[in-house]
A and B are shown apart, each in its own frame.
Chain A
Amino acid sequence: MDAKPTTSDDADRNAEFEARIAHGETIEPKDWMPDRYRKQLVRMMSQHAHSEIVGMLPEGNWVTRAPTLRRKMGLLAKVQDEAGHGLYIYCGTETLGVDRQELVLQLLNGTAKYSSIFNYPTLTWADIGAIGWLVDGAAIVNQTMLAKASYGPYARAMVRICKEENFHKKQGFEIMTTLAGGTPEQRRMAQDALNRWWWPSLMMFGPHDKDSPNSEEMQRWGVKRKSNDELRQRFVNLTVAQAKAINLEIPDPQLRLNEETQNWDFGPIDWDEFWRVVKGDGPCNRERLAARNKAHAEGEWVRIAAAAYANKRAAKIEAA
């Protein structure tokens, strides 16, 4: 699946490109790059941007029902950040020569993918805690690695995002801590949310390395610096102690510390479920797309008004 250099000139450029990556140099928008590097980055970055945008929906579901004003302010700020993160990454993707409008349309018409985690429902307030703690926690592990990606605009967007997401994770963990230390019913709610979000969070890192052909190529090109399985293990190792600290139980009877590797070994992941959700049959795939399309359609008058206003002002300035 390598980029096929067609001429000796391309072969030279390709060799030079790979050498730059090997030296840890950053690739910038106007630099020569193999078509496939560009294509793979557009795919990966646009999926990432879409995930930020769709990621607003499960949490937006709880903004009006947050239990206190403090929680509501925190959640609103988090959801607003996710919109910002989507825009940072769309802006980075555009530097590869794609049109943002095109990417947005791909999301709306269902041809683009986004992270499957957002196709799960947020049934209780505790889910907002679990999302911040686990989903943002997993995203931080992934994005900390991507902050060193070989493509400059992507890496710079990740640096900005990582700084902001630490707040997301902490607000989630604070919600979980409060519920876990609350009434028996609140405790049950927290444990139930952990039970439902744990395995989908592990799936966020993607298929096992042996089943992930894109992954090897992205690592060779320095876009990814660690494999899916390495990142997943890092997330599990970080999270086990956090769950213990608030007396919640990770729903995996096979979870145990491996004395030799000092890693927490975990049980098998249900990849059938993973592929089912990726292919569109998760609990909320249709609902999410319908919500995005509705928001886009309902925003149309704003786009028309903004353009009309700008045209009117431009005409006035021209006339003056």
Chain B
Amino acid sequence: MKKDGSPKADSQWPLWEVFVQPPGGAPHEHAGSVHAVDAEHALQNARDVYARRGEGVNIWVVPTNAITSSTPDDMGPFFDPGNDKPYRHPQFYKVPRGVKM
């Protein structure tokens, strides 16, 4: 990339993350990444690279640098609020013997 952020011919084009939605209503899933000059180009490359056999009914492309991610170092404290609440799971609750739920 040139300093102004526009793509130059023989340098690395910007990186885009590709999310493909499989047929049957499942959610989009991360498939990989592609380099492309713009969003439309990224969509075409994503189709050619990640959906050659009907793997997808829809594709999202997102500039890689637009993604904010949690960090591995914070993993413990970050997910902690969800880890000590067994009462959020059905197994926590007792049902009289013989009753089908």
| Chief secondary structure at chain A's binding surface | helix
A101 touches B12 (CB 8 A): yes
Given A313-B38, A314-B6, A88 contacting B32 (CB threshold 8 A)? yes
Q: Which residues in B have their C-beta under 8 angstroms from that of A92?
A: 32
Q: A293-311, CB under 8 A of B: which get 1 and which 0?
A: 0000000100110111111
Query: Separation in Å of the A48 CB from the closest CB of chain B?
Result: 15
Q: B61-77, CB under 8 A of A: which get 1 and which 0?
A: 00000000101100000
Per the bound structure, the CA–CA distance linking A181 and B88 in Å amounts to: 64
A81 touches B34 (CB 8 A): no
- CB neighbors of A among B1-47 (8 A): 6-13, 15, 31-35, 37-38, 41
Q: Which residues in A have their C-beta under 8 angstroms from that of B6?
A: 307, 310-311, 314
A31 touches B33 (CB 8 A): no
Within 8 Å by CB of A310, from B7, B52, B72, lies: B7
Q: Which residue of B lies closest to A32 (CB)?
A: B72
Q: Which residue of B lies closest to A309 (CB)?
A: B37
In the assembled complex, A157 has its CB within 8 A of some CB on chain B: yes
Within 8 Å by CB of A84, from B13, B48, B72, lies: B48
Q: Which residues in A have their C-beta under 8 angstroms from that of B53?
A: 164
Given A80-B52, A94-B33, A307 contacting B8 (CB threshold 8 A)? yes
Per the bound structure, the CA–CA distance linking A28 and B70 in Å amounts to: 12
Q: Which residue of A lies closest to B31 (CB)?
A: A160
Q: A31-67, CB under 8 A of B: which get 1 and which 0?
A: 1100000000000000000000000000000000000
Q: Which residues in A have their C-beta under 8 angstroms from that of B71?
A: 30
B33 touches A306 (CB 8 A): no
In the assembled complex, A100 has its CB within 8 A of some CB on chain B: yes
In the assembled complex, A240 has its CB within 8 A of some CB on chain B: no
In the assembled complex, B49 has its CB within 8 A of some CB on chain A: yes
In the assembled complex, A91 has its CB within 8 A of some CB on chain B: yes
Per the bound structure, the CA–CA distance linking A30 and B70 in Å amounts to: 10
B72 touches A303 (CB 8 A): no
B52 touches A84 (CB 8 A): yes
Within 8 Å by CB of A87, from B11, B13, B34, lies: B34
A307 touches B37 (CB 8 A): yes
Per the bound structure, the CA–CA distance linking A160 and B38 in Å amounts to: 26
Query: Chain B interface residue count: which class?
Result: 20 to 34
In the assembled complex, A99 has its CB within 8 A of some CB on chain B: yes
Query: Separation in Å of the A157 CB from the closest CB of chain B?
Result: 7
Query: Separation in Å of the A150 CB from the closest CB of chain B?
Result: 15
Query: Chain A interface residue count: which class?
Result: 20 to 34
Q: Which residues in A have their C-beta under 8 angstroms from that of B15?
A: 94
A307 touches B72 (CB 8 A): no
B48 touches A31 (CB 8 A): no
Q: Which residues in B have their C-beta under 8 angstroms from that of A311?
A: 6-7
Per the bound structure, the CA–CA distance linking A100 and B35 in Å amounts to: 9
Q: Which residues in A have their C-beta under 8 angstroms from that of B35?
A: 100
Given A300-B10, A307-B7, A311-B7, A87 contacting B49 (CB threshold 8 A)? yes
Within 8 Å by CB of B41, from A84, A94, A164, A306, lies: A306
Per the bound structure, the CA–CA distance linking A80 and B37 in Å amounts to: 22
Per the bound structure, the CA–CA distance linking A101 and B14 in Å amounts to: 11
A157 touches B32 (CB 8 A): yes
Q: Which residues in B have their C-beta under 8 angstroms from that of A157?
A: 32
Q: Which residue of A lies closest to B8 (CB)?
A: A307
Q: A66-104, CB under 8 A of B: which get 1 and which 0?
A: 000000000001001100100110011010000111000
A88 touches B49 (CB 8 A): yes
Residue in B11, B12, B33, B50 with the greatest tally of chain A CB atoms within 10 Å: B33
Return 6 A-B CB contacts under 8 Å, by A number.
A32-B72, A77-B52, A94-B15, A304-B9, A310-B41, A314-B38
The 7 closest A-B pairs by CB, nearest first: A310-B37, A304-B9, A310-B38, A101-B12, A307-B7, A91-B32, A91-B33
